Amino acid sequence: MNDISYTTEEIASILKVSKLTVYDLIKKGELAAYRVGRQMRIDAKDLEAYKAKTKKGAYASPQAAPAPPAFSPVSQTPSVPAGQARSIVISGQDISLDILAKHMEKPQTTYRLLRSYMGSLNGLISMYRGEADIVSTHLWDGDSGEYNIPYIQKILVGHRYLVVNLLSRWVGFYVEKGNPKHIEQWTDINKPGIRFVNREKGAGARVLLDEQLRLHQLLPGTIHGYEREETNHLGVAGAIASGEADVGLGIEKAAYIVGIDFVPLIKERYDLVVLKSESNQPLCDLLLSTLRSSSFQHKLNAIGGYDLSLTGKIVYETP
């Protein structure tokens, strides 16, 4: 048993709960976990210890745990025993978030950074439910032409929060080398014979697409391949590279990785949201200082493909 460990997905399957419930147990210190690269692992002995405690009534079982109240800010964190690191969940998929977590988790801090790889909308809903501490978001609103703020204001009703820029990046079409189908603008994906590959519901790219379809008065049902979904940018780009589809939507970097062409459409602002409270102030301060540090920005610059001109700038803040 000492040699066996599980991923969060495997733990969720074993306990018959959602993956978010597993993250919540880890965050509350009820289930011991550690990080290996980008993945969280739970040892079998720690899982058995948790199950033994629930049987004795030390913890409420996940199945019987009451749903969080409508307004359940992450800032209302249970007290953490002295000397024990507070687990912080950072939600989002970009590699910059893994770098951010590594820079924030320093020996002198009292935080243990965990990663959740969900899309922007689901991340904000997770924060509303008290299941995430720092959420990345890149959601374009077609009515205002603005990124993120309209969605954050609607979802985090009743919460106080800080929105700070992480980076900006180009979003556009993935197409075959040489762009043989001449796909240049939004209406081109509606041409006869064009095969599209989509992102999952809740992803920022999916929201951008649906908003553009609405504004251009295009029905999703007329887009061949609209129902085909991939859960990340590389999955979409890979479908183009393999010839399974003609066009998809995503960030520039993935096109270069798989060796296809990229048609830039819009420069998106990729922001971070963190809740404001007296207990969360040290976390806000650490986040801002990390984003503004030369070491963090140097690391992102080395990767390439990011615009850091707004990195660390507060773009919105509630009173």
Enumerate residues 6+ apart whose C-beta is below 8 A from 274.
Answer: 133, 134, 135, 161, 162, 164, 280, 283, 284, 287
pLDDT 10s digits, 134-190? 999 999 999 999 999 999 999 999 999 999 999 999 999 999 999 999 999 999 999
Please give the helix or strand (H or E) that residue 87 lies within, else none.
strand 86-91
As a whole number of angstroms, the distance between CA 270 and CA 258 comes to 23
pLDDT 10s digits, 30-54? 888 887 765 778 888 888 888 888 8
Amino acid code (one letter) for 48: E
Global pTM? 0.74
Q: Which tokens sit at 280?
A: 């969360």
As a whole number of angstroms, the distance between CA 180 and CA 171 comes to 20
As a whole number of angstroms, the distance between CA 236 and CA 195 comes to 12
Strands 134-137 and 146-147: unpaired
Over the range 195-231, which residues count as b (16 or more CB within 10 Å of their CB) and which as e? bbbbbeebbbbbbbbbbbbeeeebeeeebbbbeeebe
pLDDT 10s digits, 66-120? 333 333 333 334 444 445 678 999 999 999 999 999 999 877 678 999 999 989 9
Q: Which tokens sit at 90?
A: 């950072």
Are the C-beta atoms of residues 207 and 152 closer than 8 Å to each other? no
- In 3D, which of 236, 245, 20, 249 has the Cα closest to residue 118? 20
